[in-house]
Structure 1
Amino acid sequence: MYIGIRVDASYEIGSGHVMRCVTLAKAFMLKGAKVLFICRNLQGNMNFYIREQGLEVLELPQASLQIYNNIDVNDSGIHCEILSTTQEQDALQTCEIILNNISQVPIDLMIVDHYGLDGIWQKKIRCIAKKVMVIDDLANRKHNCNFLLDQNYYVDIHKRYVGLVDKDSFLMLGPQYALLREEFFEQRNAVSIDDIENKRILVFFGSSDPTNETYKVLSSIQSMNLNDLAIDVIVGKININKNDIKTMADSMRNVNYYCQISNMNEVLSNADVAVCASGSFTWERYCLGIPGIIISVADNQKQLARDLTTLEIDTYLGHSNEVTTHLITVAIEEIISNPTSILKARNKAYSIVDGNGVNRVIDVILRKL
């Protein structure tokens, strides 16, 4: 079985799409599949990380300046600027690079996890792929796919893709399908969900943190009297502000700075609460029973953040451009002064994500390929 994965990372896109695709790829490989990543060489890409995981990457070239300058919002409403080229050009290049590097064509499955691609690209890619799987959470454009995965929680999750996919497309919707690495499933068994010490806060806004929320949160914490609390700060290798963040962290008491760690599950499990974005990190937190003070850092995170509040687990402060250090300070003071509420939130989070989502996804696909 041969599987292709079309996904990108960049300073603008972030690393979440790549991280969850790597998790899925490793699970497929355990089932005997051959997996190939097709990624564009964008600034802030994670191609090095994919290779470090023992996975093969074929790199698409950067778009020419002429093509890039002519990119606009396409007819379906998606922004192709994060793709750095047109969908038609991307599909052509993807087909060419697969035909030039793989003898077994058509491949069994093409997985695409990209906000810049929709049914236009997916239809064109079917000349080299028997079936197509889409990973999405925007529900803002039409898809041409056999499978669609949206691992997020939305109040209207079962209505979101009506009219956007064919009736015979198989939908995998909700956090029960969250693509978490195996170490989170293993760490979950070692977590004492009722153990609340109120002594540790984790700060993490993804690998790139384009709005520099990490620095903002540290500034807030610096103004508080939190000598009895330990703060763990995690940034990614592609975070352009990581040196400034490290300098601030080093100047503060009880603050531990980490960059591009491989043991996120261990560091996260030690926290009582996280201050973080409302992206895919949500499901890693929930798997280990960690509530959050959340800030949306991209437009596509706003609805998820609002809907998450209905679960009474996280405190949503608003979008990044609306959140001040004062708001963060008040939220932290309120949550650490109420261990009972943390305990209730921990149990709710723990009950929603069991860490076995990737195996559910694999089982569905293998049954239907």
Structure 2
Amino acid sequence: MKKKVVLFRCDASQQIGVGHVMRCLSLAQQVEKLNMDCVFLTNAGGDDVLRHYASFPIFTSRYSPNESEIDQIIKIAEKFQASYAVWDSYDMTVDGVAEVQNHIPLMILDDVYLLPHYSCDAVLNQNLYADPQKYSVNHLTTILTRSQYTLLRSSFREYMEKDREISLQMPARLMLSFGGSDSDDLTSLIIGWLIKLDFPIHFDIVLGPHYAFKSGLLEFVAADLAPNHKFMIHDNVRNMAELFIQQDIVICAGGSTLYEVACLGIPSCCIITADNQVELAKAAEEHGFSKNLGYIDEINPEFINSIIEDLIIDHKKRIHMSEIGKVIVDGLGAYRVASYILEKVHGKGGI
């Protein structure tokens, strides 16, 4: 029996980051495990991300900005005889969604309530704060919301199941991870502040594929201006779960990394680098698994350093944050969504 095919439409670039492609890849990983093939229609940046991170066979087709996006989606769906499509973008229209749905069952990944109406098979908002009432949909459209559907790669679930203790040892392991591009170079800024703390820190610095400030960062580390601290630079990490699990604290942007570290039970602090991160940063702090450090243009060294120092010292607080995170994000979201798609392509309805 010929395998069913699922088509993914998403892009990556220095401007928009790699999040759209990475969450589609997390879902595609589970789709492939359920014996379906995956095709990605993506731009050059997305193709680079897939080549680096995909650990299973994927067919790719290069998206052209000079042609109609809708026509390309339909054309690729027909070429590969796709049975289902997943579209993850902040650049779509009501009419475009409806037109694709007329040709193939379509799931929209949307965490910003982008459109006034959705004529598609399903809408997915994986966020903790997602409100299904904010989506205007057809009566046959399924709405999948909140952290039970958070799309994480399977490695996070695997590492979540390993025993891990919250460490009291020094130096503390502290990771900085600000996405695929970190266009504001928060990495260098925060390091420059934290090295002023009195106790030693082992910094794990994660750089994304579009990080443009690597040479300056390497020069800083090589200059050995902070001999009390240790620095390790990790470039284009393939297995983030393996690196996360070694950390005491993670400082990151207010995006999907919060879910990844919550799943592993790693306390985090987040900085809001874009408007679409505001609600998640607030919700993560309200639930108790992360500290919201505020907007990027409002942070200051005294506040940041006091929060980090408090977390390093307060072992019980980190244990509490760890336990809450693992309850809220169980690592099975991608499996649940892939199972929904499997049911739909075999005509059994879905969740």
TM-score, normalized by the shorter chain, greater than 0.5: yes
Q: Please tell me the residue identity of whatever aligns with 1:10.
A: S
Spell out structure 1 runs of 4+ moving beyond 6 A. none
CA drift of 1:368 comes to: 2.9
RMSD, matched Cα: 2.0
In 2 relative to 1, CA 167–16 (structure 1 residues): closer, same or farther, beyond 3 Å?
A: same
Whether the 8 Å CA contact 1:204–1:275 is kept in 2: the answer is yes
CA drift of 1:343 comes to: 1.0
The residue that corresponds to 2:327 in the other structure is 351
Cα distance in 2 between the residues matched to 1:128 and 1:146:
12
In 2 relative to 1, CA 196–172 (structure 1 residues): closer, same or farther, beyond 3 Å?
A: farther
Cα deviation 1:266-295 (Å, max 9, x = unaligned): 110111111111101111101100121110
Whether the 8 Å CA contact 1:191–1:269 is kept in 2: the answer is no
Cα distance in 1 between the residues matched to 2:269 and 2:27:
28
Give aligned-pair identity as a percent.
26
**1:1-369 aligned within 5 A:** 1-41=4-44, 45-52=45-52, 53=54, 54-63=57-66, 89-99=68-78, 101-102=79-80, 104=81, 107-129=82-104, 131-141=105-115, 142-154=117-129, 157-161=131-135, 163=136, 165-197=137-169, 199-227=172-200, 229-250=201-222, 251=224, 252=226, 253-369=229-345
CA drift of 1:337 comes to: 2.2
Cα distance in 2 between the residues matched to 1:10 and 1:96:
24
Cα distance in 2 between the residues matched to 1:311 and 1:147:
27
CA drift of 1:196 comes to: 4.8
Q: Please tell me the residue identity of whatever aligns with 1:13.
A: I
Cα distance in 1 between the residues matched to 2:59 and 2:220:
37
SS in 1 for 2:134: coil
Cα distance in 1 between the residues matched to 2:302 and 2:232:
22
Deviates more, 1:136-145 or 1:263-272: 136-145
Q: Please tell me the residue identity of whatever aligns with 1:182.
A: S
Q: Please tell me the residue identity of whatever aligns with 1:152.
A: N
CA drift of 1:149 comes to: 1.4
Cα distance in 1 between the residues matched to 2:296 and 2:93:
28
Deviates more, 1:189-198 or 1:5-14: 189-198
SS in 1 for 2:12: coil
CA drift of 1:127 comes to: 4.5
Whether the 8 Å CA contact 1:191–1:288 is kept in 2: the answer is no
Whether the 8 Å CA contact 1:152–1:304 is kept in 2: the answer is yes
Whether the 8 Å CA contact 2:132–2:143 is kept in 1: the answer is no
Extract unaligned runs of 5+ from structure 1.
Answer: 64-84
Whether the 8 Å CA contact 2:166–2:248 is kept in 1: the answer is no
Q: Please tell me the residue identity of whatever aligns with 1:138.
A: V
In 2 relative to 1, CA 249–175 (structure 1 residues): closer, same or farther, beyond 3 Å?
A: farther
In 2 relative to 1, CA 214–186 (structure 1 residues): closer, same or farther, beyond 3 Å?
A: same
Whether the 8 Å CA contact 1:113–1:134 is kept in 2: the answer is yes
SS in 2 for 1:294: strand
Whether the 8 Å CA contact 1:204–1:276 is kept in 2: the answer is yes
SS in 1 for 2:83: strand
Cα distance in 1 between the residues matched to 2:94 and 2:131:
20
The residue that corresponds to 1:80 in the other structure is none
Q: Please tell me the residue identity of whatever aligns with 1:297.
A: T
Whether the 8 Å CA contact 2:174–2:204 is kept in 1: the answer is yes
Cα distance in 2 between the residues matched to 1:146 and 1:98:
16
Extract unaligned runs of 5+ from structure 2.
Answer: 346-351
Cα deviation 1:110-157 (Å, max 9, x = unaligned): 10011111422211223542x000111111323222111111111x63
Whether the 8 Å CA contact 1:291–1:314 is kept in 2: the answer is yes
SS in 2 for 1:159: helix
SS in 2 for 1:247: helix
Cα distance in 2 between the residues matched to 1:357 and 1:215:
33
Whether the 8 Å CA contact 1:218–1:249 is kept in 2: the answer is no
CA drift of 1:96 comes to: 3.6
The residue that corresponds to 1:81 in the other structure is none
Cα distance in 1 between the residues matched to 2:166 and 2:133:
36
Deviates more, 1:140-149 or 1:230-239: 140-149
Whether the 8 Å CA contact 2:18–2:49 is kept in 1: the answer is no
Whether the 8 Å CA contact 2:126–2:144 is kept in 1: the answer is yes
Normalising by structure 1, what TM-score? Answer: 0.84
Q: Please tell me the residue identity of whatever aligns with 1:207.
A: G
Cα distance in 2 between the residues matched to 1:261 and 1:273:
18
CA drift of 1:181 comes to: 1.1
Cα distance in 2 between the residues matched to 1:226 and 1:263:
29
Cα deviation 1:217-273 (Å, max 9, x = unaligned): 11111222232x211110112111222223334434311111101121111011111
